[in-house]
Amino acid sequence: METIRILNRRITWVLTFLAALGAMVSPIVLKAADQTDEKVAGIVGIVRGQTARLNLANITDVSTPLGPCVSRLTFLDGANNLLGAAVLSLAPGQGRFIDLNADTLSIRGRFEIRGMAHFAPNPDPTQPDPCAQTRLTLEVFDNKTMQTTVFAPEPHLVDPPEPERSFGMVGLTAGQELRLSLNNLCDGAIHLCDGSVIPGPCEATISFLDLNGRDLVPSTLVMLKQAGQTGFVDLLASHGIIINDKTRLQVRGLVSFPPVRDPTAVNPCANVRATIELFDAKSGQTTVFYGVPDT
């Protein structure tokens, strides 16, 4: 992935093309579960020696017979000036990113930027929107250590429905660990926070996926048998993943729950919440925290 630089002729051509495409296609009502035709990943300041990375993951199941999600990722400054852009085509399960290196900008001190994703209209309104399920995340990392120092997920409108909890992408580098945790919260209408046994254990499968939606390591089954119980799975370089001092590995987490067999019975996974942490393997200090919002 090439580092995004100051607006060039290629980007100008892409923007012109997309503008013409938008003019030719009439607006439609999107069938998206968690977005409109665009997403914003916050505002953050960067300085020289840092790179901002805008990630987009298409979390649609890879078995879904949908075409690719076409999106334009952009970096804008505080005055809404375009700093860089790229058009991405993401098949179900895929993720991609664009970078904005502060060292390539004529800036002094802090420079405020924001990231956005604009989605192409659904090519076939009679079919589900191929961009209906995406995750947008913005990272800032140090150009020398490659470690993420800032992480800003998009504000979701609606949590994805069961049976999955899907996270956006985050960069993992040497000396770091990525932890995906599950917490079985308490619900006074069903059970109390006293360690009482819930109606059957909650079985959840935790996976770590790469840019193409493939498993980086074998998925792990986590069983939560009691109210308030927590379980987690770590991803680190010792699992055989090659990460050197000059490399960042873009990862997204996925939690899958088994389907509810009896809709009239209490769902043992109904109150399970998932979070991701990125922390230093030596000190244990957390540098990134990413929580999927409650339903």
pLDDT of 173 strictly over 90: no
Tell me the pLDDT tens digit for each residue of 245-255.
568 889 999 99
pLDDT at 273: 82
- pLDDT of 84 reads 94
* DSSP strands (E only) in 11-68: 38-46, 50-58
Average pLDDT over every residue of 112-129: 90
pLDDT of 158: 47
Query: Quick one: average pLDDT of 198-214?
Result: 87
* Chain CA centroid to CA 24, Å: 31
The pLDDT confidence band at residue 225, using thresholds 50, 70 and 90, is confident
pLDDT of residue 292: 62
- What is d(CA 81, CA 234) in angstroms, rounded to the nearest whole number? 40
Which domains, ranges and CATH numbers included, belong to the chain?
A: 1-156 (2.60.120), 159-295 (2.60.290)
Confidence of residue 242 (pLDDT cuts 50, 70, 90): low
Q: What is the mean pLDDT of residues 258-276?
A: 80
d(CA 56, CA 137) in angstroms, rounded, equals: 7
SS3 at position 124: coil
Nearest to 164 by CA among 214, 211, 226, 207: 207
The pLDDT of residue 94 is above 90: yes
pLDDT at 34 over 80: no
Does this model's pTM top 0.75? My answer is no
